[in-house]
Chain A
Amino acid sequence: MSAQAPAPPSPSAGGPPPSDAVPLFYRRGFRRLLQQGIYVAITALVAWYVYDSLDLREFGFGFLDDPAAFKVGNQWLTDIDGVTNNRITMYLVGVWASLRVVFVAILLSTLVGVLVGVSRLSSNWLVARLAMLYVEIFRNTPLLVQVVLVYAIFLVGAPIIQEVVNIGDFAFISNRGLAIPWPVPNDGLWGLPDWFVGVWVALLIAIGAVAMTVRRTRQNRERETGQPQFANRWAFGIFAVGALVTFIILGLPVSIDRPYIEGTRYLEGMVIRPEFAALTIGLTLYTGAFNAEIVRGSIQALPTGQTEAANAIGLSGYQRLTLVILPQALRQMIPSITNQYLNVNKNSSLAYAVLYDDLFRVAGIIQNKAGHALEMFFVIIVTYMLISLVISAVMNLINSRVTRVGV
C-alpha cells in the first residue's frame, strides 16, 4: 500500500483519531443527526401545511348545526322535518335509512346464499343448473346495473297509483310502493297509555329468555337420559302462551293498521317504497350470488366421509344437510361471509343511483348547500367505518361462539 495522504498534525497525540481525520459529512453521528433532522423537518412542514390549509378552509363542523332546509323522504318510524331540524339530525335520518337497507339486505342475502349454495350441489340437474345460472348472472354483472334495472322494473312494471292493485283492501301495489298492514301501538283496553307497548316488548324479551333457558335445560336432559324432551316445542309453547297472556293483561296494546289510499297517497300501514326495494333487492341478489359460492365452497371443503357417514347411519337427505353438513360448513364460512356483509354496507351507497335518501345522498345535499366537502367526507368515512366495525364485531362474536362448540 502506498503512503496515506499526510494527516494534519493533531493536537492530542495518541488518543482517538483526530476529529477532522474523518470529514464531518461522513461521521456516523452527523449522518444520523442529518437524516433525522431532515425527517423531522419534512414531517413538521407537512403537518404545518395540513394545519394551515385546513385553517384557511375554515375547517370545522359548526355548519352541521345550521338548519337543514331540505326534506328527506322515505323515513320509517321517524317523521323528522328537515326544515326546522339541523343538518346533523337529517344526516342521522340518512344513517338510519342506510342501516335499514344494510340490515334487510344482509338477512335476505344470507337466506338466498344458503338456499342457492345448497341447490348448486343438488343431485337434481335442473335445480343445480338454475342455481348456477343465477350465480353466474348476478356475480358477473355490475351491482349498479342491477339496482337501476330493478328500479326501472318497478317504475315501469308496477301500475300507477290511479290503477293500484288492491289485494282485498289489505295490501296495495303501485309504482309508489307496496303498502302492507303494520302493527302500531294502541291505547290499551283498560285505558293504559300507548307507551305500554314498550312494557309488553320488555315482557316478551323476559319470556323469551325463560323459554330459552327451559329449552337448554331440556336439551341437556335429553342428551343425558336419551329420552326425548321436546325442547323446541316446550320453548315455543312457553313463549306463545306468555306472549298471549301478557298481551291480554296489558289490554291489547298493539293493533294492526291497514293501509288505504287517499287521492294519490298511501296512508297508514307500512309502505315499502320502490327505491328501498330496488336497492335492497339489488344488494340481496348480488351479495346472495357471492354468498352462494361461499356456502358451496364450504360444503365441498368438508371431507366426503361426513356425507358417507351420514348416509351410512341412515339419515335422510334433509337430516344429513341440517344435522351434519351445514353445522360444520357454517363455521368455515363465517369469516368469508363477514367480508360480504361489509361489502353490503359499503355498496349501500349505490342508493345514490335511485335517489334513496341514505347517508351518502343526504350528505351530498348538505355539501351542495354548505360546501365543507372535506368535513362531510370525513363524517361519511367515519360513519361507514363505524357500521363496518360493528358488523365485524358481531360476526366475530358469532364466529367465536360457533367455533367453541364441539369438534
Chain B
Amino acid sequence: MRLPSLKGRRLVSALLFAGAALVAGAVIGACTSDEDDQQAQATEQQQQQMEQQDQPAEQQQQEQQRAAPRAQDSGEPRGNTIQLVQDRGTLKCGVKQTQPLFGFRDDQGNVTGFDIEFCKAIAAAVLKDADAVEYVDASDASTRFELLADGQIDILIRTTTITSSRDMELDVDFAQTTFYTGQGFAVRKDSGINSTSDMANAAICVQTGTTTEQNVADHFTDIGLDYEPTGGLSQDVAAAFFEGRCDVLTADASDLASRIVVRDDADDYKILPQIISKEPLAPGVRDYDSDWKDVVNWVVHGLIRAEEIGITQANVAAMASNPPNTEVARLLGVPFGDGEVAALGFDVVDAQFIQRAIAAVGNYGEIYDREIGNAIPRDCTLNALARPLPSEAVDCGPGEGGIMYALPYR
C-alpha cells in the first residue's frame, strides 16, 4: 500500500479544515441572524401582551396572533386597492361565517348578516354591482389580519374591534365604526335581574377570552358585589347558560344577541342594556392606502347621512331624479336644478357611488333594522343616530343616546 504523497495529504487536510471552518462560520452566522429574529419576536410578544389588555371578548385566540407582514413584504400590488378591485371586477371581502346576525353562512351556502351588507354597499359603490363580492372566510380570529396584509382580501368586515395596538402595530387601518358594542350580560327574563347590581352572588358563565374574566372581576369589585364564576364546556360556555347552569352569561353584547336569536326560546332571554367594556367594530383596510380607506369611510358615512336626511332604498331613485335640495343632490351625485350646482366628482370614484350603495342595501338604519334590529334594540344605544330626524326622535334616559353621526358631505 502506498500512502498518498504528503503534499496530497496536506491538501486534503487543508480542504477538510476549510470545510469545517465554513460550517462553523455558517452555524455562527445562523445563530446571529436567529438572534435578530429573536429580538423582533420578543418585541412582538411584548406588543401582544399590551394588545391583550385591550382585546375584545369575542376573540379568544388573540395571544397567538402574529403581527402581519409589513407592506413591502407582500407580493400583491399595494397602495391602490381600488384599482386592483376594479381590474379584478370583484371585491374580496373577509367576513366571519359563524356568527348569526353579523356574518353567517347558512345551509345553502348563502352568507348573510350586518357586516355582509357593508360588503355589498362597497361593491355597489366601487364596482356598480352589489353582487360582485367574493366572501372570503375570515372566521378564524387569529389569522384575519394576515389575510388582509397578504392581499388575500381587500377589506376585512368581521366584527373587529378597533384598538390602539392593532391600528399601530399591524398592517391594518380602520375606517368608520359600523357598530358599537361591549361586554354585556344575558339573563333569563324571569330571573328578575335588570342590572349587575341585582347579581349579588349570582352564578356567572364567563365566555373565556383574553379580557372577559378580568372585565367582569373588575366590574364586580367596583360595585362591591360578589359573584360565583361557574364552569361550562370550554368550546361553548353559552350551552351551560342555556341549560340553566348559571344565572348570567357574559360576552360581547353582539355575540350574546347572536347566540340568543337562533334559539327557539329566544323570547325567554334578554340582554341587559348595561355594557362594561368598549368594543367599536369597524371595517379594516391595509395601511398606506388612503384612497381605498377614503372610499370605505365615505360609503359608511354616506349610509349614515342618508338615514339622517331620510333617503331610503325605496325613495333613492326618486330623490336622484328630482333632488329636493342641494345636499341630497350632492350626496347622490346628481346636478341640482338646471345644473346650477354640479355633482361632486372624485379622482378615485365617480360621483354617484353613494347613490348606488343606498340603492343596493338601503341607509344605515334600514340595514340595522333588517339584519339585527329584531335581536339588538337600537333606540338610545350608541348605535342610534346622534341627530335623528325629528319625526323619529325617541326620548332617552340621562346618559343614553346615539353617537352615529355622519361627517358633512360637500
Contact = CB atoms under 8 A, between A and B. Distances in A.
A16 interface: no
B203 A264 contact: yes
A152 B234 CA distance: 12
B234 to A, nearest CB: 5
B243 A73 contact: no
A76 interface: no
A354 B234 contact: yes
Contacts of B203: 176, 264-265
Contacts of A264: 191, 202-203, 247
A355 B231 contact: yes
A271 B213 CA distance: 23
Interface residues of A, number: 57
- Give chain B's interface residue range (CB within 8 Å of chain A): 35 or more
B63 to A, nearest CB: 6
Contact of B245 (A1, A24, A83, A274): A274
A353 B236 CA distance: 10
A1 B2 contact: yes
Interface centre among B232, B244, B247 (most CB of A within 10 A): B244
A25 interface: yes
Contact of B201 (A23, A160, A265, A367): A265
Interface in A208-240: none
A71 interface: yes
Contacts of B234: 352-355
A390 interface: no
Contacts of A353: 233-234
Nearest to A374: B45
A107 interface: no
B24 A38 contact: yes
A275 interface: yes
Contact of A365 (B42, B213, B231, B245): B213
Contacts of B17: 25
Nearest to B50: A371
A175 B244 contact: yes
A161 B244 contact: yes
Interface in A268-321: 273-275
B214 A69 contact: yes
B233 A83 contact: no
Given A42-B27, A160-B244, A371-B49, A273 B231 contact: yes
Given A25-B17, A175-B243, A265-B203, A371 B231 contact: no
A13 interface: no
Interface stretch (B33-41, B271-279, B347-355): B33-41
B48 A371 contact: yes
A52 B31 CA distance: 12
B42 A23 contact: no
Contact of A155 (B5, B38, B240): B240
B13 A70 contact: no
Interface in A116-170: 148, 151-152, 155-156, 160-162
B239 interface: yes
B243 A155 contact: yes
Contacts of A41: 24
Interface string A62-103: 000000011111100000001100000000000000000000
Contact of B13 (A23, A71, A367): A23
B282 to A, nearest CB: 24
Interface string B198-222: 0001110000111001100110110
Nearest to B60: A368
Interface centre among A25, A58, A156, A354 (most CB of B within 10 A): A25
B393 interface: no
A49 B221 contact: no
B186 to A, nearest CB: 15
A69 B20 CA distance: 55
Interface of B: 1-3, 5-7, 9-10, 13-14, 16-17, 20, 24, 27-28, 31, 34-35, 38-39, 42, 45-46, 48-49, 52, 63, 191, 201-203, 208-210, 213-214, 217-218, 220-221, 227-234, 237, 239-240, 243-247
Given A70-B214, A355-B234, A367-B63, 9 more contacts: A1-B1, A5-B6, A26-B9, A56-B42, A69-B218, A70-B213, A83-B217, A160-B244, A161-B244
Interface of A: 1-2, 4-5, 7, 23-26, 34, 38, 41-42, 45, 49, 52-53, 56-58, 69-74, 82-83, 148, 151-152, 155-156, 160-162, 174-176, 264-265, 273-275, 352-357, 365, 367-371, 373
Closest 7 CB pairs of A and B: A160-B244, A25-B13, A275-B231, A355-B231, A371-B49, A73-B229, A56-B42
